[in-house]
Amino acid sequence: MPRPKRRPSYDLRRPAPAAAGVTGAVNPRLDDAAGGRLYSSGMQVGRGRIHVDPLVIDSLLGCVMAVVTVVYGRQAYTAQYQGEGRPAFGLFAIALSLAVNLPLTLRGRAPRVAFGISCGALAVYTAAGFQPSTNLWAPLLACYTVIVRNPARRAAWAAAATAVAWAAAGLEARLPVELSVARAAIGVGVVWMWATGSRRLAQRNAQLAQLTAQLRREQELRAQHAIAREKLAIARELHDVVAHHLSALAVQAGLAEYVFLSDPAAARQAVVSMGSSSRQALEEMRGLLGVLRTGTESPDEDGLYRSAPGLAALDELVQQARASGLDVTWAVSGHRRPLPSGVDLCAYRIVQEALTNAVKHAGRGARVCVGLRFASGLLTCEVTSRGGIAPMAELPSSGLGLLGMRERVRLYGGSLRAGPRAEGGFEVVFTIPLAPLDAAGGA
């Protein structure tokens, strides 16, 4: 019986209709979630071991940028802008610089709010006439976060506002209009392409994660289905072994008890048959258990078939049925040929089940005929029973024998008919298609 292999930490996903989005259009519903997943995955150090809260990273980034901006602004004012007549980089300029940079601490949780505050503070800073090259980068970074976290149509306003703020800063720096607009367009354009590319990558990663989870569930279901299928096969084998041999033992024990005083020789023969049946049952059970104990990772399906007899043991099966009181005859017509192990076991088990049912229900003295016919590409078997003395004791029956026979035949593409005959008695007839001799390797 196969057991599911250890589940890997990640897998490729089943190519479902949704997988088309991986190489084609992205799913808008994944935009926010995918953007957040990309943002949070970038805020982990030593993934799987050390996790840093993105808020901590953003807080450090905002504080560092605010300090650097203030220090640079005061030095640049003293070195350059004081001589140009710019307003002093005093408390008001410092407060506006902090208002431009510190909102970056919120860009992960409220990107649009952080961008609005930062860009608005830059607009006030530029309108107040302070040195224009100091606070340009924080709004651009906040704009990147908005584009990453939102679809293009919902992020266009942030890109436009950033471009306007950059162009206004260029004009305030007394740059030509063309150069101011070009600088704003290039800066915002580069950020737009980078951010949209990152967003699409995050969306595809999110889709792959969903497909991976779906494939993992399907793999688990397939493993459970394989286990259930193997359990069914083993249960079918156990039923055939136990039902046949124990039924034969019960009948033979009843016969031995019945003739113990009147016919000691017959009683002795029944006991001998009981020993033979029990030894064969033990041998088949031992073979079946051997299959269960080996090959758990890569089960050999043929091993289950090799552990049980085939039609080559039909004569021994008939002898056991005769020892149980049945009058059994059997014949083979057509050109007998080797059969695949599965088909061989299937045919043997059906004949065995039919004989077991005759022992249970037809009783001693019943006439049973077993006929095997090998035709071109087809194996036909007919088991008929009639007459007999009612059993001395009704043997228990699970009602699964006929169902198991039909399942076996259906497995190999055959058909089975079982039921009372018009002239009396009971019959079981099944056919199984066979591969041509040349296709079977010249078997």
Q: How far apart are CA 115 and CA 100, in angstroms?
A: 9
Q: What local confidence, expressed as pLDDT, does residue 7 receive?
A: 41
Read out DSSP for 360-395?
III-TT-EEEEEEEEETTEEEEEEEEE--PPPSSPP
Distance from CA of residue 43 to its chain's centroid?
31
Q: What local confidence, expressed as pLDDT, does residue 433 receive?
A: 92
Q: What local confidence, expressed as pLDDT, does residue 409 receive?
A: 87
Residue 435's pLDDT band, with cuts at 50, 70 and 90, is: confident
Q: What is the pTM of this model?
A: 0.46
With pLDDT > 90 as the criterion, what percentage of the chain qualifies?
Answer: 30
Q: What local confidence, expressed as pLDDT, does residue 6 receive?
A: 42
Task: Tell the burial category of 388 from Cβ atoms under 10 Å away from its Cβ (0-12, 13-18, 19+).
Answer: buried
Residue 390's pLDDT band, with cuts at 50, 70 and 90, is: low
Q: What local confidence, expressed as pLDDT, does residue 240 receive?
A: 64
Tens of pLDDT, residues 103-124: 999 988 899 999 999 999 999 9
For residue 284, give Cα distances in angstroms to 153, 199, 240, 304.
72, 63, 10, 10
Residue 389's pLDDT band, with cuts at 50, 70 and 90, is: low
**Structural domain spans, the chain:** 27-175, 219-433
Read out DSSP for 87-130?
PP--HHHHHHHHHHHGGGGGTTT-HHHHHHHHHHHHHHHHHTT-
**Mean pLDDT of the region 286-301:** 54
C-alpha dihedral sign at 390, 393, 399, 400? negative
Residue 440's pLDDT band, with cuts at 50, 70 and 90, is: very low
Residue 15's pLDDT band, with cuts at 50, 70 and 90, is: very low
Buried b (16+ CB within 10 A) or exposed e, 214-234: bbbeebeeeeeeeeeebeebb
Of the two residues 70 and 279, the one the predictor is more confident about is 70
Tens of pLDDT, residues 31-64: 555 555 455 544 444 445 567 788 888 889 989 9
- CATH 3.30.565.10 is held by the domain 219-433: yes
For residue 349, give Cα distances in angstroms to 174, 274, 343, 404.
97, 20, 10, 10
**Mean pLDDT of the region 303-325:** 75
Tens of pLDDT, residues 227-242: 777 667 666 666 666 6
Q: Which of 15-19, 201-205, 270-274 has maximum average pLDDT?
A: 201-205
Q: Determine if residue 130 is left, alpha or beta; phi over 0 gives left, psi from -120 to 50 gives alpha, anything else beta.
A: beta
Q: What local confidence, expressed as pLDDT, does residue 3 receive?
A: 46
pLDDT above 90 (res 252): no
Q: How far apart are CA 317 and CA 313, in angstroms?
A: 6
Task: Tell the burial category of 400 from Cβ atoms under 10 Å away from its Cβ (0-12, 13-18, 19+).
Answer: middle
